[in-house]
Structure 1
Amino acid sequence: MQFEDIYCPISKNLNLVEKELKKICENLETSCLQEIIGYFFKNPGKRLRPTLALLSAGIVNNKLPKSTNDQLIQMATGIELMHSASLIHDDVIDGDLFRRGQKTINRIYGKKIAVLVGDVVYSLAFNTVTNSLPKEFDKIIVELTEYMCAAEVIQAENKSPSREIYLNIIKGKTALFMSVSCKIAAALAGATKNQLAGIEEYGLNLGMAYQIMDDCMDKDINNQLNITVEDAQLYGNRAIAALDAFEDSAYKFSLISIVNLVLCFSEAKVNSA
């Protein structure tokens, strides 16, 4: 299965997210920001986090009223903006010159412009999310941003982290974001307490598996950490098991397929590296 197959149950809503992203870029006040941010979104990537959000809502209720679905689209758009802002800043921090097959903003426009553009995209994200979600979710989004930034700081201060520190870092910078994306979307769709716990656990373990596989693929893991593909598979199995709280559906199948795709594709790259 490819990501294109995973999108099938949510293709209409995912297209609406793309339209919202385009509209936000076009409505920016200055032409220079339109140009730079538009350039970043030229190559969209997999849209994993909005995909997780849309699937998490669908697994709970695939017949949402229009008003709730509109909230869901805005929420999915906001988290993609948050992710994009973090990538723009990451490229500056890491000195990366390419992202998704094209030159990074910092390579073309310089580090100062890239940092400022990342800040703008963060502000667009917070504006989109806070204007669309019930107020009780604001604290979750703020805390998520704090955890992501704190994880980056801890990573910068620990060039040779212990296994425990490494796992806490990837939890903060990757796994919690996926978990929150799933949890808020499911809550909007009317999830029960048991379903919320399950989808939150799914997102957290998927995020752990995803980042471990990504680090293994990029050979970013110190051998002394004793972190391997087997660890990622363990987290992946936990993610799939967490979906037992839900009945079988196309949405559940896609969520399971994301786990398998992350593990299989990444493992193949690791083994061939």
Structure 2
Amino acid sequence: MEDELNNLVNDAGIPSVSKLYGYFFQNSGKHLRPALVFLSAGAVKKQQTNEENHLIQLGFALELLHSASLVHDDIIDEDMTRRGQKTLNNMFGNKIAVLAGDTLFSHAYSITSNLFPREYSQVVADLSFKMCVAEIEQAKGNINREKYFNIIEGKTALFTSVCCKLGAILAGGTKSEIKSLESFGLNFGMAYQIKDDFVDGDPNALKYVTMDDARAFSSKAKKAIAGLDDSVYKQNLCELMDYMMNV
């Protein structure tokens, strides 16, 4: 994934854009979403060898989509730092940051539309729409427990669910396997976001949910893939869930 990001920076073709990408991706994060793509594909592993390059490109596209959403989130939330450095909006201003985020969205959509069947592009487009709706609902306020769950599902859990779903589809998983991994991803994302909100001291999380809720979603995630054939990939998915709950 780092190689793909470095290629994006070096091959942008426009110095000003390369500078923005180089700055943003010099601390590129955990690559959690590509990891979910790869592990979900491995958990069904019907065609993994033949589809390895496509898996990398799918993970890359979803990482770019996530990065674009982070850039725009920082603008909306007026955040000044991310990953130990100034945010793009703090470093270059809101106008440039908005446009930089837009270019990352365009790269993500270009990859999915050029390399994958239409189904993939539609899933990514639907995901982007639902992420925006969740942000709108959060901005409107008047949060309660139910609305909090709906927001984090739209902002985070649907994304992790899509990563697992598309990874399983690309690897040739059965309908049952795809459904199991999609459910794993959804519950993984819910648990992860609740835990992350607690760590950050998010007032809505502290008011409406507890870490018991996060642990319940974590348990549901692991149960969702209990019926899959045993493999190192299935084990790694469960271990990743445990790790995200304990860091």
Does 1:109 find its partner at 2:86? no
**Alpha-carbon separation, structure 1, partners of 2:239 and 2:206:** 31
Provide, for residues 189-242 of structure 1, a one-character-per-residue CA deviation record: whole Å limited to 9, x for no partner. Answer: 011111011000000000000110111111113378430000000000000001
Q: Which runs of 5+ in 1 are unaligned?
A: 1-16, 266-273
Q: Which residue of 1 aligns with 2:116?
A: 133
Does 1:146 find its partner at 2:132? no
Counterpart selection for 1:173 from 151, 155, 160: 155
Q: Which runs of 5+ in 2 are unaligned?
A: none
Equivalent residues of 2:47, 2:171 under 8 A apart: no
Equivalent residues of 1:78, 1:126 under 8 A apart: yes
Equivalent residues of 2:34, 2:163 under 8 A apart: yes
Q: Which residue of 1 aligns with 2:164?
A: 182
Q: Which residue of 1 aligns with 2:203?
A: 221
Q: Which moved more, 1:57-66 or 1:113-122?
A: 57-66
Counterpart selection for 1:237 from 219, 222, 237: 219
How many pairs does the alignment contain? Answer: 247
Q: Which residue of 2 aligns with 1:93?
A: 76
Structure 1 residue 63 displacement after superposition: 5.8
Amino acid aligned to 1:76: G
Provide, for residues 53-72 of structure 1, a one-character-per-residue CA deviation record: whole Å limited to 9, x for no partner. Answer: 01000111176243x22211
Structure 1 residue 24 displacement after superposition: 2.0
Does 1:73 find its partner at 2:73? no
Q: Which residue of 2 aligns with 1:28?
A: 12
Q: Which moved more, 1:174-183 or 1:210-219?
A: 210-219
**Alpha-carbon separation, structure 2, partners of 1:99 and 1:69:** 31
Q: Name the CA shift for 1:30/1:198 in 2 (closer, same or farther; >3 Å).
A: same
Q: Name the CA shift for 1:106/1:76 in 2 (closer, same or farther; >3 Å).
A: same
Equivalent residues of 1:206, 1:239 under 8 A apart: yes
Does 1:39 find its partner at 2:23? yes
**Alpha-carbon separation, structure 2, partners of 1:166 and 1:223:** 8
**Alpha-carbon separation, structure 2, partners of 1:174 and 1:51:** 15
**Alpha-carbon separation, structure 2, partners of 1:102 and 1:138:** 32
**Alpha-carbon separation, structure 2, partners of 1:178 and 1:184:** 10
Q: What pairs with 1:183-222 in structure 2 (closer than 5 Å)?
A: 183-222=165-204
Provide, for residues 154-191 of structure 1, a one-character-per-residue CA deviation record: whole Å limited to 9, x for no partner. Answer: 00001x40111110000000000000011001000011
**Alpha-carbon separation, structure 1, partners of 2:90 and 2:196:** 23
**Alpha-carbon separation, structure 1, partners of 2:41 and 2:116:** 14
Scaled by the length of structure 2, what TM-score is found? 0.96
Q: CA RMSD in A?
A: 1.4
Indicate the SS of the match to 1:222: helix
Indicate the SS of the match to 2:136: helix
Q: Which moved more, 1:105-114 or 1:127-136?
A: 127-136
Equivalent residues of 2:40, 2:167 under 8 A apart: yes
Indicate the SS of the match to 2:225: helix
Q: Which residue of 2 aligns with 1:61?
A: 45
Q: Name the CA shift for 1:94/1:224 in 2 (closer, same or farther; >3 Å).
A: closer
Scaled by the length of structure 1, what TM-score is found? 0.87
Amino acid aligned to 1:261: Y
Does 1:155 find its partner at 2:143? no
